[in-house]
A and B are shown apart, each in its own frame.
Chain A
Amino acid sequence: GDSVTQMEGPVTLSEEAFLTINCTYTATGYPSLFWYVQYPGEGLQLLLKATKADDKGSNKGFEATYRKETTSFHLEKGSVQVSDSAVYFCALSHTGANSKLTFGKGITLSVRP
């Protein structure tokens, strides 16, 4: 079945540092890929997505590129802020009518001032 693997956390960075959070997946066909973010005390919200190979999703300075050859969707940001402290989830979904999201375990990011 489908699965999503995220790097182990937590991750602690200083403000303005470069961020990379690794995500790889196992799935048949060509799923859509997502990054969701969960701020403290809140539900998850979509950060960015990509629906086909070589697509780049971007939002709020974050980027991720759909790499079919390496089955990866790594999240990057050039300069993190304290307000980026949150839990980040990588996820995939097929496009069938009743498909569901398959989430990774999530990784906690803490950014120090």
Chain B
Amino acid sequence: DAGVIQSPRHEVTEMGQEVTLRCKPISGHDYLFWYRQTMMRGLELLIYFNNNVPIDDSGMPEDRFSAKMPNASFSTLKIQPSEPRDSAVYFCASRRGLAGHEQFFGPGTRLTVL
């Protein structure tokens, strides 16, 4: 299996622009997670889905952030408009079944907002 795939790997944009991050989970996994990692705040869970349905979006920082999962093999995290404080590494992860099972992480997207 190819693992969790994220694109792009790096994104540099200017403040105010829309940014879309993409994730393809491992085939057969029914949970998908979006995380953000910064030096100051560490690893934060933003939102997660089960069978394409958002379960908990309490970690989404504000209305500028939105996430969708239109089907079992694709999810997006969108930031509109972007701000410099959104600069971070964004990880997507997927899992099959119950919480005791391993969560597989993608390589991350490094976002820089100028």
Contacts and interface: CB of A to CB of B under 8 A. Distances in A.
Interface of A: 32, 41-46, 49, 51, 89, 93-101, 103, 105-106
Closest 10 CB pairs of A and B: A43-B105, A99-B99, A93-B99, A44-B105, A46-B102, A105-B42, A32-B100, A103-B43, A98-B55, A43-B107
Contacts of A51: 100
A98 B4 CA distance: 20
A89 B43 contact: yes
Interface residues of B, number: 21
Given A43-B93, A98-B50, 6 more contacts: A43-B106, A45-B105, A49-B102, A94-B99, A105-B43, A106-B43
A100 B108 CA distance: 19
A106 to B, nearest CB: 6
Interface of B: 4, 33, 42-43, 45, 48, 50, 55-56, 91, 93, 98-100, 102-108
15 contacts: A42-B107, A42-B108, A43-B4, A43-B106, A44-B93, A49-B102, A51-B100, A98-B55, A99-B99, A100-B33, A100-B48, A101-B45, A101-B99, A103-B43, A106-B43
Looking at chain A's contact residues, the main secondary structure is: loop
Nearest to A98: B55
B44 to A, nearest CB: 9
A94 B101 CA distance: 11
A51 B107 CA distance: 27
A5 B102 CA distance: 21
B43 A100 contact: no
A98 to B, nearest CB: 5
A96 B43 contact: no
A8 to B, nearest CB: 13
